[in-house]
Structure 1
Amino acid sequence: MYIKKIAPVVGLSLMMALSACASGGNESIKNETGASIDQKIHDGTTTKEQVRQLFGDPAQTSFTDSGHEQWQYAFDNSKADAANFIPVYGDLHQGQHGTAKHLTIIFNGDVVWHHSMNSSAVKSSAGLF
């Protein structure tokens, strides 16, 4: 009898916990750090094809003012704030926190000229307050 009463609460809690996470972008940089990227990419040596084999196609490509091709990779991972689940308050305010990773690679011809990996904490909110 006790299980029949608690099962809906456990089910709802599990659904809320699973829906509280979101991620997007290039999964290949999900677990990367500046140090791990530096071990894989070497300025003046690593080629475009090697970068493509490591990380796949970039999310964005562009060119610098000096004409160098630039590839950008991004991955965002966020979780809902616990306060989102407080009755009434959660209906009026929604927040998320997590990390955003960005890998930028600039090529000189077919070889990496410079590269940079950044990871930063991000927070967003929406609602009446």
Structure 2
Amino acid sequence: MNIIRLALAGVMLTAMTACSSAGNSSMKNVTVADIDRNVRDGVTTSAQVRQLYGEPAATSYDNGNEVWNYEFVSDRPDGLSMAQDAVGLGFLGTKDSMRSNALELTFRNGIVVHHSFTTKNIGSGSGLRR
């Protein structure tokens, strides 16, 4: 019986560290201070941005200016949600938190003319755990 409890505890601990992520990993732990230190409107070049953050996730054009977008999103269910699923109580609902970092840069002639960085933290729930 102790072996079963130990195994269940191990599965639950492993599950508690589970999360999913998507996007540019160089944006994962970036802060506003990092962006402001590394990107200066009118000074920073597209080559410097590419060296810092890699290839953009999306590129578009606006009024003749090139616009680059970088994003990183991570989603993590809470420990109780995973434990409920492990013991067959997933129908009670779930709770999870999502965090995203997004950087948008506008270039004119290869120089940043404007940049913006946003961070969002969103919590959501379903069923009885809303």
TM-score (norm 1): 0.83
Corresponding residue to 2:32 among 27, 31, 34: 34
In the alignment, which residue of structure 1 is the partner of 2:74? 77
Offset at residue 92 of structure 1 (A): 5.0
Hey, what's the Cα distance between the residues in 2 that align with 1:14 and 1:93? Answer: 19
Corresponding residue to 2:51 among 50, 53, 56: 53
Task: Say whether the 8 Å CA contact 1:83–1:90 is kept in structure 2.
Answer: no
Mapping for residues 42-121 of structure 1, pairs under 5 Å: 42-64=40-62, 66-84=63-81, 85-86=83-84, 89-91=89-91, 93-121=93-121
- Say how many residue pairs are matched: 126
Q: Which runs of 4+ in 1 moved over 4 A?
A: 125-129
Q: Percent identity?
A: 36
Offset at residue 80 of structure 1 (A): 0.1
In the alignment, which residue of structure 2 is the partner of 1:25? 23
Structure 2: runs of 5 or more not aligned: none
Per-residue CA deviation, residues 81-110 of structure 1 (Å, 9 max, x unaligned), is 344233565235333213111000000110
Offset at residue 127 of structure 1 (A): 6.2
Task: Say whether the 8 Å CA contact 1:26–1:59 is kept in structure 2.
Answer: yes
What's the Cα RMSD here?
A: 2.3
